[in-house]
Amino acid sequence: MKSYTLLLADTKEKRNAGLSGKDSLPTNTVLLFSYEKNERCSVWMKNMKLSIDVVWLDDNFTVVDLKEGLSPDTYPKAFSPASPCRYFIEAKEGFIQANNIRINNKVSIDFANSLLNF
């Protein structure tokens, strides 16, 4: 099992900003977007400088959809999961492959210690 440091985007302002404008993401760090209820949770690459992988999760932390290698040049296209989600993860490109993430996988999140485990 691999552990990642978890950055949390749990307010509208943090969700709107996401990783926009960032030149990099620290090693073994992911950004978790958290919503109050299940939503469509769309992602776009506005003002992004790096390519990312996105993993959408339901309220039970089960993977409902994923997208590999979203590059900044996909803007203004928006990407949405096949079904509503409660959370989603933005991580460095290669994250999905490195962790062999598949739809229906479960994710363990330790909010108290800001850790995400695959």
Tens digit of each residue's pLDDT (9 = 90 or more) over 6-42: 999 999 899 988 899 999 998 899 999 999 999 889 9
pLDDT value of residue 49: 96
| Span 88-111, average pLDDT | 95
Q: Which fold has domain 3-117?
A: Jelly Rolls (2.60.120)
Tell me the C-alpha distance between 95 and 83, whole Å: 21
pLDDT value of residue 50: 95
Instruction: Please give the order of strands across the beta sheet that includes 52-57.
Output: 63-70, 52-57, 85-92, 29-39, 3-9, 115-117, 108-110
User: Model-level pTM greater than 0.75?
Assistant: yes
Q: Judge whether residue 67 has pLDDT over 90.
A: yes
pLDDT value of residue 43: 94
Tell me the C-alpha distance between 113 and 118, whole Å: 15
Which residues on adjacent β-strands are paired with residue 4? 116
Structure tokens, 97: 């492959």
